[in-house]
A and B are shown apart, each in its own frame.
Chain A
């Protein structure tokens, strides 16, 4: 049975580099860092005092009354979803909303709401917001995006830590291929730059402690990397069946060829050092997309800047692509935007789609001295991608041993 072809017809993002796709993409190409030292009072006694907050506050974009009903994570999701939806031109296309699905992931959920309502509870239980539950639940972002757009096919929220955003795209692809929807609004969001996550990831020794030099903190593949930089933001992609997109004459960015999911079955936090789980995810994405390693010219790596994770992924890429890894440019957007947790895979999928469309790989910054255990073609400057039919991979891995790889194809 031939697979339904699925394409990308709209993009949206709000990130540490900009409040939309264009500014984010320009920032990535320019090698700009979105990191900064936090100056809030709550950060003063934390070991880690750096992060990559969004460039544009979502409350500047969303109507006041609506914004106060949304957790920060859902605000970010709605901002990106509105942009992607407008970009797709679907609003005036006569799309049957019962054929419109949503898959918007979050790693943590509405943590701002959880924490602020816990504080309110300590003062007076009647100060707990009656909206606290719909705001803190992990599916809140997906639900509000569906309300915003009137989407009436399934509304889904994959939760797989830092693989969540990619898992949402995997799920959306399946919904269309299984005939359950013609269009799925897919992506992820996270707004969790707060004391608790900074302290908790810090206690795990997962975060960079370069407080005095925030823009140098996230340095995937560099020998002196010491952990990831916490970012925030959202990315949304409009997934649409090729037939549906063609029939309405839609602008098509790229094809969503395949998606692969696997589990390490190794450890709750450490990656499998053999890279076997990540390798299987990439191989599944390729085989599902009828692609071979020879087709891959660009890899958006998970590459968080942790000592072990970056090496395990490099091993996995080498195993998945073999000698063809030599002609695949590896890029690590987390060097610029930090780690967006549940938003990471989605924003980086937006970047991967744009790399294919514009035939250029963004640089990876802060690679002053490439770790010799990293056997990848790391580009520290923009790199032009070849013409003709090419494909790209985007990897995301999460605590719990979740691996999710997405394969996109030029069109």
Chain B
């Protein structure tokens, strides 16, 4: 099972690929919209890429709850363990 840090690191690479945010900026306490400037359409791309990368389902209704990188990492951890 991937560690929290491994998930954060992989997610950071996805965010970098899609939105060009430096990987070191993608930390657990950062808000996707307010801190990282990831717009809503890019967020959809991040979610779909994360689903494929981590082999989880992230329902569209859930995306609005993923405000920070930490929220997303926690969701992925739960989904993988579930």
Contacts and interface: CB of A to CB of B under 8 A. Distances in A.
Task: Tell me if chain B binds chain A.
Answer: yes
A3 interface: no
Interface string A110-134: 0000000000000000110111000
Contacts of A131: 41, 45
A372 interface: no
Interface in A360-400: none
> Taking chain A's interface residues, is the majority helix, strand, or loop, or is none over half, making it mixed?
loop
Contact of A64 (B20, B41, B44): B20
A126 B51 contact: yes
Contact of B45 (A63, A64, A130): A130
A68 to B, nearest CB: 8
Nearest to B52: A127
Interface in B31-76: 41, 44-45, 48, 51
Nearest to B41: A130
Max chain A Cβ within 10 angstroms of own Cβ: one of B18, B19, B41: B41
Nearest to A63: B20
Nearest to A129: B45
A131 B41 CA distance: 7
Interface residues of A, number: 9
A335 B18 CA distance: 40
Contacts of B18: 65, 68
Nearest to B21: A65
Contacts of B44: 130
Contact of A65 (B19, B41, B48): B19
A127 B41 contact: no
A63 B19 CA distance: 11
Nearest to B45: A130
Contacts of B20: 63-65
Contacts of B51: 126
Contacts of A129: 45
B54 to A, nearest CB: 14
A65 B15 CA distance: 11
A127 B45 CA distance: 9
A137 to B, nearest CB: 14
Contacts of B45: 129-131
A117 to B, nearest CB: 13
A367 B51 CA distance: 57
Max chain B Cβ within 10 angstroms of own Cβ: one of A63, A65, A129, A131: A65
Contacts of A68: 18
B56 to A, nearest CB: 12
Interface of A: 63-65, 68, 126-127, 129-131
The 3 A-B pairs with the shortest beta carbon distances in the complex, nearest first, are: A65-B20, A130-B44, A130-B41
Interface of B: 18-20, 41, 44-45, 48, 51
Given A65-B20, A130-B45, A131-B41, 10 more contacts: A65-B18, A65-B19, A68-B18, A126-B48, A126-B51, A127-B48, A129-B45, A130-B41, A130-B44, A131-B45
15 contacts: A63-B20, A64-B20, A65-B18, A65-B19, A65-B20, A68-B18, A126-B48, A126-B51, A127-B48, A129-B45, A130-B41, A130-B44, A130-B45, A131-B41, A131-B45
